[in-house]
Chains A and B, each alone.
Chain A
Amino acid sequence: MEAKAIGVSVLLWLILLARPLCLISANMEGDALHSLRTSLEDPNNVLQSWDPTLVNPCTWFHVTCNNDNSVIRVDLGNAALSGQLVPQLGQLRNLQYLELYSNNISGQVPSDLGNLTSLVSLDLYLNSFTGPIPDTLGRLSKLRFLRLNNNSLVGPIPMSLTNISSLQVLDLSNNQLSGPVPDNGSFSLFTPISFANNQGLCGPVTGHPCPGSP
């Protein structure tokens, strides 16, 4: 009985301690998303409800939170957005779904996205992203969907991606990527469709042998 009482009081203390922290982190997440809003052009006012003076972003349209009021989804596919992403997106620690496909977003894919270790789906396809695929994406150990197709990405496919054992769907087609296509690790699952229409890629899966390979 006493042990139970102690347990309960410890729990209460933890709740008391954790609550302000939750509040602060939710504010940080709101700030991060507000930075994103500032950096994007939004002709259809899809982000109109993103009011940074609210306690957290959980009531913002197209944002979903978990029960602790931490953001788990941002669903902004096909929303006529342009402009660029911001590194602050990396602060959404519990984000599972980042759906930004079918827009006209440009600039680089921020390497800070590698901090989103809860991410299950990163859908940036059908945009105008440029620059390389950040090596840090290899840290997304829960990622199941990685769709970066139909952009203007350049450079090599980071070897780190092959470490993501949960990866089920990969689409890097229709970019300007170059270098060898890895075929080890999780990449052994994927077929040429995932890599099609990248002029510079080489390796068995592309039909173009890499220079120096047998």
Chain B
Amino acid sequence: MGFRGFFLSFLLLAFRFEVSISSSSSLACNSNDLKALTGFSNCLGSVIAGWNSVASPDCCNWTGVTCDSSTVSGRRIVGLELSSRKLTGKICESLADLDQLRFLNLSHNFLSGSLPDDLFRLQNLEIIDISFNDFVGPINGGMCALSSSIRVLNFSYNYFAGELPKDLANCTSLHHISFHRNSLSGSLPLHHISFHRNSLSGSLPDSVFQLQNLRELLIQDNRFSGPLKNGIANLSNLEKLDISSNLFSGILPDAFGSLTRLEQFSASSNQFIGRLPISVVNSPSLQMLILNKNSLSGPINLNCSAMKNLVSLDLGSNLFHGPIPDGLSFCRRLTVLNLARNNIKGELPNNFKNLDALAVLLLSNNSLENISSALEILQHCKNLSMLFLTKNFYDEEMPNGGNLQFQNLRGLVLANCRLRGSIPQWLRSCTKLQLLDLAWNNLGGRIPSWFGKFESLFYLDLSNNSFNGEIPKSLTEIQRLKSGDISLEEPYTSFQISFNTRAASGQIFSYKQISGLRPTLDLSKNMLEGPICPCFGDLQKLHVLKLKENNLSGSIPGSLSTMTNLEILDLSHNKLSGEIPYSLLKLSFLSAFDVSYNQLYGEVPKGGQFDTFPDRSFDGNNGLCRGGCTHESEKTPTHSSREKKMKIFGWQFGVGAASGFVLTVSCCFMSGWVLPKPRKRKKAATRIGRI
């Protein structure tokens, strides 16, 4: 995606440069061109500033217009670049009268209707970019019948429907073609390249395998099915092959030996079975091998002495078994390794110490053992930045040695392991930490005050443990949550790994970057006590604050109203007393608010966001009333929140808790919505809330 964007802008830039060299002539624009341009402008629903034939008769000076240096009949328009100008309306036929037009960029506007039939009559057109508009209708053929010069066609992010034009196959000069995110259907008529996010179906036609010069075949996000045929071996110039998110099945063909230039192969989210082909695990050219979310099995038998260029390996969510092979550590350039959600057992191999380049390691949801040894080994990987170990090491003790050092660690996800012990001292050295998830363990003791020194930390989940004592005030001193004014390195922008979180409801959220997560402080379901410090008001960059199911007491500080970015505030199931401060009406982004099962009284604030919260947000409080206090609400029986909680959260809670993982950054995959959704827990919780 990024590469393509870059490629395209490079082409456009190249054009501008070439043209601007020759545009020093003082001649005015050709009168036919002026007429055509005026006609084009009349069909638009919006006025383009600077387009006025009275004030400025030379249309070559108009915004976005590029002319050449013809002298015979005035300068001719060769380029029209009106990207991101909020244009509305239609493109009318008169555009096709600009017969010298070579590049047309109308991307990122609100243009609608269908394309004029005559658009492809323009014989000189080389670049058409009409992506990100609201165009509809079929794409008419003929684009390469007359013009042999078309090089770039970008029709992506529109609403084009119907079959792909058959004669695309005639477009011999085409370098770059992009139809992704439309509603096109039918079978693939041709050769080139990017059709992702459509509904193309059927098997991949054999004719594709005759395109021996093809360098990129990107057909992800369609509905192609059947096996990937051996014919793929013919595409010996292929550098990039992406067939992910289709319905391909069967075994992967052992046909990669002849693809000596293949650098990137992605087949994630298909239905491939069987073992990794010998020719794949011996490829010296592969840099990126992405096979997650299939049903591949067998041992992981990579031959790292052959795969010298491997940088990114993603085998997550398959059925691989056995131990993590020792040999992986000979892939010395390996930077991203995802083996999460397989059936891998045993300990981390000792020679993982040698993986100097390793930056992102995902091993969640396996059956790994001996966390002490694993951490001891991994601390030698000096570039390790993101470490995901959720759902391994069950019931082990959290290593607490002060000698462990992870100086570059930015994200640690070690949730749902039932780990015993307390917050380890060695975490103190992880001064670059941005994300820490230790939820769903059996950790106890106090939350240390040195957390306040993590100036980059913006996502902290310690929920579902047994932490006690007060919430340290230093949590409100975390710089990133106070001002956000901290420059940060995104750990792995260039590797296209995304990761998921699973909410209480079972919803799976997919992120491409760590910074896509909402800044969060989740201390729910512990045994924390004492008041909520008014100093929480300092956390102006915090979006999610969850303190539910603790023993917090005192009143809700009015100063929480200065947490201006707050979207979610959950204080339910505590022992909070007093009234809900009216100042919370200032929290205009607040979309979820819960104070149920406390000892609050008085009137629920009216107006602002508060009108949009459901009644259950306020249930189970003594004398809290909504919409004009009447004596009726005083009759609501009261329980101390703990009593109530203990009564309610009996076996149902156990069942619910076992079947879901609450806001756990559970695992890490490429882009995942195929995981089963455990919804039971949410439903149980809702039911409980209403008793």
Q: Which 5 A-B pairs have the closest CB atoms?
A: A78-B588, A77-B588, A75-B591, A59-B509, A97-B612
Q: How far is the CB of A48 from chain B (nearest CB, A)?
A: 10
Given contacts A39-B86, A120-B612, A169-B611, contact A54 B512 (CB under 8 A): yes
Q: What are 11 inter-chain pairs, A to B, with CB distance below 8 A?
A: A39-B110, A58-B509, A59-B516, A61-B518, A62-B589, A65-B507, A67-B682, A75-B588, A77-B609, A102-B588, A121-B611
Q: Give me 5 other A-B pairs in contact (C-beta within 8 A), A38-B84, A53-B1 excluded.
A: A23-B673, A62-B567, A65-B507, A69-B673, A78-B589
A38 to B512, alpha carbons, bound, how many Å? 21
User: Contacting A31 at CB < 8 Å: which of B157, B506, B590, B677?
Assistant: B157
Q: How far is the CB of A90 from chain B (nearest CB, A)?
A: 13
A40 to B121, alpha carbons, bound, how many Å? 36
Chain B residues whose CB sits within 8 angstroms of the CB of A75 once the complex forms: 567, 588-591, 609
Chain A residues whose CB sits within 8 angstroms of the CB of B157 once the complex forms: 31, 52
B507 pairs with A58, CB closer than 8 A: yes
A73 pairs with B507, CB closer than 8 A: no
**Is A55's beta carbon under 8 Å from chain B?**
yes
**Is B192's beta carbon under 8 Å from chain A?**
no
A58 to B181, alpha carbons, bound, how many Å? 18
B591 pairs with A64, CB closer than 8 A: yes
User: Contacting B110 at CB < 8 Å: which of A69, A79, A86?
Assistant: A86
A28 to B108, alpha carbons, bound, how many Å? 16
**Is A145's beta carbon under 8 Å from chain B?**
yes
A51 to B509, alpha carbons, bound, how many Å? 14
**Is A49's beta carbon under 8 Å from chain B?**
yes
**Is A27's beta carbon under 8 Å from chain B?**
yes
A64 to B518, alpha carbons, bound, how many Å? 12
Given contacts A39-B86, A67-B679, A75-B590, contact A54 B181 (CB under 8 A): no
Which residue among A49, A54, A59 has the maximum number of chain B CB atoms within 10 Å of its CB?
A59
A154 to B325, alpha carbons, bound, how many Å? 72
Chain B residues whose CB sits within 8 angstroms of the CB of A42 once the complex forms: none
User: Contacting A55 at CB < 8 Å: which of B591, B673, B677?
Assistant: B673
Which residue from chain A places its CB closest to the CB of B221 in the assembled complex? A23
A67 pairs with B611, CB closer than 8 A: no
A120 to B512, alpha carbons, bound, how many Å? 32
A54 pairs with B510, CB closer than 8 A: yes
**Is A35's beta carbon under 8 Å from chain B?**
yes
Give the contact-size bracket for chain B: 35 or more
**Is B671's beta carbon under 8 Å from chain A?**
yes
**Is B402's beta carbon under 8 Å from chain A?**
no
**Is B255's beta carbon under 8 Å from chain A?**
no
A67 pairs with B588, CB closer than 8 A: no
A51 pairs with B512, CB closer than 8 A: yes
Question: Quick one: CB contact mask for A32-53 with B, threshold 8 Å, 1 for yes?
Answer: 0001001100000000010111
Chain A residues whose CB sits within 8 angstroms of the CB of B134 once the complex forms: 35
Chain A residues whose CB sits within 8 angstroms of the CB of B75 once the complex forms: none
B588 pairs with A55, CB closer than 8 A: no
Chain A residues whose CB sits within 8 angstroms of the CB of B679 once the complex forms: 67
**Is A99's beta carbon under 8 Å from chain B?**
yes
Which residue from chain A places its CB closest to the CB of B86 in the assembled complex? A39
User: Contacting B86 at CB < 8 Å: which of A38, A49, A102, A169?
Assistant: A38
A140 to B608, alpha carbons, bound, how many Å? 21
Given contacts A77-B609, A97-B612, contact A35 B110 (CB under 8 A): yes
A182 to B509, alpha carbons, bound, how many Å? 46
Which residue from chain B places its CB closest to the CB of A78 in the assembled complex? B588
Q: How far is the CB of A24 from chain B (nearest CB, A)?
A: 9
Q: How far is the CB of A167 from chain B (nearest CB, A)?
A: 13
Which residue from chain B places its CB closest to the CB of A65 in the assembled complex? B507
- The A91-132 residues at the B interface (CB cut-off 8 A) are 97, 99, 101-102, 120-121
A149 to B506, alpha carbons, bound, how many Å? 39
Which residue from chain A places its CB closest to the CB of B613 in the assembled complex? A97
**Is B592's beta carbon under 8 Å from chain A?**
yes
Q: How far is the CB of B408 from chain A (nearest CB, A)?
A: 25
B510 pairs with A59, CB closer than 8 A: yes
B612 pairs with A99, CB closer than 8 A: yes
B108 pairs with A38, CB closer than 8 A: yes
Chain B residues whose CB sits within 8 angstroms of the CB of A27 once the complex forms: 181, 197
